[in-house]
Amino acid sequence: MVCVYKSKELRLRKYPLPALTQLHTFEAVARRLSFTAAANELCLTQSAVSRQIKSLETSLGRALFLRKHRAVELTLEGRQLLGAVTRGLDEIGRCVEEIRAVREAPQITVAASVAFSYFWLMPRLERFSERHPEIDLRILASDQTVDLEQEDADVAVLYGTGSWRGVVAQRLFAERVYPVCSPAYLRDHPELLRPSDLLNQSLLHLDGGGNIWGAVDWPKWLAHQGVTGQPARRGIRLNSYPMVLKGAEAGRGVALGWSYITDDMLTSQELICPFEFSLTTDCGYYIGALEERFADAHIAAFLQWILDECRSAEDFA
């Protein structure tokens, strides 16, 4: 029954059809030209099949089969009805397959830190969708370690040296860390000329931001630059790296910037680096998946896309 609108009134279109179960049974008998074979296929008794066909012929007022001693043949009307029923079932079958295909679209869950998801991945996802519109991508943004063996995610952005048990990992970029602040902050603090000057600035700290970041913090960064002593001012501690960068953009102080996130911000001048001093560690960021998952074509497609994105960024730089 289909609802149609006409003259602003709701009318119901009624299809003059026999019972659909009868048509289903008719199609099986007509296709096999055997009541017995159709009964076996439909898990019915032969007498039940015969009753349904007889009822269908009665409602149509026409014989659909010529019943011979050891054979069954379609009448002219039977052949006409078989053609119509087959076309209808084929169309319904195609529609059902399309609906199932939409419902069962391949989904990939990608785990990454909140900062990576927000600053690096999200701005690029449209390009992935353009390349692979058939894949449903789910982003699991978390600053806690994701266990790929527990199926928390199909793919994960990992921090370390590139070696994880049972995981195949490909390097995305190195870890390079440098100070960042807003242009306004630097204008207001012209004395900020070298790393030792940071001891007299308001420093923004990532505090308790999870366990998938490296160990670089202000004490380690300053020590690497040969700066000793303690900051003269109380800093601001935040447990989310996006909050740290937002604080820097707002001129609240100086933050540590991870190059894969903040390089673009330097280009757009949302943030600036007050001087050319940085720290590059032996660790890096990798895209990883379990060895057995690499055979999945959709996971392989995502891995190839993200590697292409990183290479494009390097070529542009």
252 contact partners, CB below 8 Å, separation of at least 6? 202, 204, 236
Minimum mean pLDDT among 157-161, 178-182, 211-215, 248-252: which range?
211-215
Asked if residue 9 has pLDDT above 60, the reply is no
pTM over 0.75: no
Share of the chain above pLDDT 70, in %: 89
Q: Same domain for 7 and 20?
A: yes
Are 14 and 133 in the same domain? no
Q: Do residue 77 and residue 208 come from a single domain? A: no
Give yes or no for residue 101 having a pLDDT over 90. Answer: no
Distance CA 106, CA 61 (A): 50
Kind of pairing, strands 236-238 and 167-180?
A: unpaired
Which pLDDT does position 316 carry in this prediction? 41
Both 169 and 284 in one domain: the answer is yes
Q: Which of 74, 103, 132 is the last residue of a domain?
A: 103
The mean-pLDDT minimum among 5-9, 26-30, 38-42, 43-47 falls in 5-9
If one counts the domains in the chain, the total is 2
Spacing of C-alpha 47 from chain mean position: 53
Question: Of 78, 103, 128, which closes a domain?
Answer: 103
Domain boundary residue, one of 82, 103, 124:
103
Q: Are residues 289 and 170 in the same domain?
A: yes
Q: What is the domain range of residue 83?
A: 2-103
CATH number at residue 55: 1.10.10.10
Verify that 152 and 297 share a domain, yes or no: yes
Quickly state the pLDDT bin for 152 (edges 50, 70, 90): confident
pLDDT at position 207 is: 83
> Rounded to whole angstroms, how far apart are CA atoms 173 and 244?
22
Is the domain of 85 the same as that of 114?
Answer: no
Quote the CA–CA distance of 108 and 273 in Å, as a whole number: 36
232 and 275: one domain?
Answer: yes
The reply to whether 25 and 167 lie within a common domain is: no
CATH number of the domain to which 123 belongs: 3.40.190.290
Look at strands 72-74 and 2-6 and give their pairing: unpaired
Grouping H, G, I as helix, E, B as strand and the rest as coil, residue 1 is coil
What pLDDT band is residue 12 in, cutting at 50, 70 and 90? very low
- Give tens-digit pLDDT for 179-204: 999 999 999 999 999 999 999 999 99
Q: What is the predicted pLDDT for the residue at 263?
A: 94
CA dihedral (293, 296, 297, 302) in degrees, to 10, reads: -40
Mean pLDDT across 114-136: 91
* 172, 224: one domain: yes
Residues 92 and 123 reside in one and the same domain: no
CA distance 152 to 164: 16
Q: Is the pLDDT of residue 224 over 90?
A: yes
Q: What 3-state DSSP class applies to 75?
A: coil
Mean residue pLDDT across the chain: 87
Claim to verify: residue 86 and residue 119 sit in the same structural domain: no
